[in-house]
Chain A
């Protein structure tokens, strides 16, 4: 699953419509939308809100590790043209001065740039994009997933020549819509990385958990049987439902599995 985090409704609107996401009304702290493949959470402005929204999304949506997380939003830049889309390859927290280097998926069609996260609106503009959420999002998402599955996409909404105009909020949705093709490419690539590296394991773990739920074990027996079952599956490409041969005692099951291997 891909979890999208946006700061405002204006940034979320395009994705809610485009991905046909439905609101989860039972979640009150944040607006959370979802479908089978995506979730979208509107975090509110600022890095603390962004951090809490990641945490909340993770716990509300099943506490599933190693899903994909993408912060998508608008950002300012000194000279880039309005509407330009970037993958963020360096995050600088302007307060702590800590720097993070997100993994860049191999997508030639979208340029990369750094982004600096500020506490307040940055009206100075620099060669690094400026936002108010990313460092908080990134640090928190790192608790729940591999770095290679955590990304940020920013669209330039204002620059030195044309500072941000709060009366033009409605135009934000349009900025995202124009880049629809690139979001598709990005989502596909990220899902491809996830499928190739994470999905198989999740499927195997689910099957093994089902088998293990039928027997009583100590924690260490559970881990040992789990590993042997996994190896059996990887070697034989399947696990029969009666692999334990009706046996319920963990030690006997361990012997059976060792014999099979």
Chain B
């Protein structure tokens, strides 16, 4: 992988994972920093400009490795946490909240993989309930796997944990790391899906729908139960056509090997949207969402009724107990 610059925290210089990642990268300059925040956090950065040519920052995550998931963000577990071994994503979805949340589009890879596992074990040791851990909240879990090797390292260890379940959420078809292991009930590979026209307009640089389906098929054939994620679900067609879309989707995958289906609307704090308008001032989609928040339509917000309709349509193919609204 070719990048412009490689930034490395002083503390990560001799980290084995960092050294492995460095070997896989072609870069022009290696720049040592004290803390990744020196590069990542300053205000007044333009996410859009950086996105054209991101650099990689190798860092050590010291605090808040595992965080409580937002309320309603669940796939059937009462306790939910999320973590991100990486900040930012190689894809460029124009609805993505990361553009509003982070000041920088550079990829931060936290190379202290062991510490993520240690923190997860601590949470599990303190709990009698099953806990679900979501990976890929601030990044795509698999998209940069060939460089990070995170899942390959992590799955081997996580599979052995008794009361923990791991969701690996991705749009990527790079499933090599999962295929290396036998199917496990406590690992849920989950794929975000949208109609192909929405993928083309909104999910730039991501795999086509058909290729995501192929990846799902491949894993299901190996015995994996898969999570299907329509979150956010972006639909431009008629409601009647929506049934045809879901029919096609659920016809092409093994319904018995679906772990769960989640549905979500586009949702974003206005502060994020404001920032996104500032850095993407000529993106009509972002501006329209921002305007809808500050000047709500007089006919009211029909987001909830939309979700109810989507859920009804999906329940024709999947048992209601497996459908979650996020």
Which residues of A are interface residues toward B (Cβ below 8 A)?
Answer: 89-90, 99, 101, 103-106, 108, 112, 114, 142, 145-149, 193, 197, 200-201, 204, 224, 227-228, 230-231, 234-235, 254, 258, 261
Contacts and interface: CB of A to CB of B under 8 A. Distances in A.
Contacts of A103: 45, 49-50
Give the interface centre of A108, A230, A254 by most chain B CB atoms within 10 Å: A230
B32 to A, nearest CB: 8
A10 B154 CA distance: 58
A235 B5 contact: no
A90 B34 CA distance: 12
Interface string B253-286: 0000000000000000000000000000111100
Interface stretch (B130-138, B236-244, B289-297, B311-319): B289-297
Contacts of B177: none
A235 B291 CA distance: 14
A191 B38 CA distance: 26
Given A112-B28, A231-B287, A231-B288, A101 B33 contact: yes
B35 to A, nearest CB: 10
Nearest to B5: A104
A99 B35 CA distance: 11
A101 B38 contact: yes
Interface of B: 4-5, 7, 28-29, 31, 33-34, 38-39, 42, 44-46, 48-50, 53, 55, 281-284, 287-288, 290-291, 294-295
Nearest to B46: A146
A114 B294 contact: no
Contacts of A114: 31
Nearest to B29: A112
B44 A147 contact: yes
Contacts of A145: 44
B295 A224 contact: yes
Nearest to A101: B39
A148 B45 contact: yes
Contacts of B34: 99
Given A89-B31, A147-B44, A149-B46, 8 more contacts: A99-B38, A112-B29, A147-B45, A201-B281, A224-B294, A227-B290, A231-B284, A234-B282
Nearest to A202: B281
A63 to B, nearest CB: 17
A93 to B, nearest CB: 13
A145 B33 CA distance: 23
Contacts of A234: 282-284, 287
Contacts of A227: 287, 290-291, 294-295
Nearest to B283: A234
B39 A104 contact: no
A90 B221 CA distance: 51
A106 to B, nearest CB: 5
Contacts of B287: 227, 230-231, 234
7 contacts: A104-B28, A147-B45, A147-B46, A149-B46, A149-B49, A204-B281, A234-B282
Contacts of B49: 103, 146, 148-149, 193, 197
Contacts of B31: 89-90, 101, 114
Contacts of B295: 224, 227-228, 254, 258
A224 B295 CA distance: 8
A146 B282 contact: no
B284 A235 contact: yes
B282 A201 contact: yes
Contact of A142 (B28, B44, B55, B284): B44
Contact of A146 (B45, B55, B283, B288): B45
Contacts of A106: 4, 53
A99 B4 CA distance: 19
A230 B278 CA distance: 13
A112 B30 CA distance: 10
A136 B295 CA distance: 42
Contact of A197 (B38, B48, B55, B288): B48
Nearest to B282: A200
B147 to A, nearest CB: 19
A147 B42 contact: yes
Contacts of B290: 227
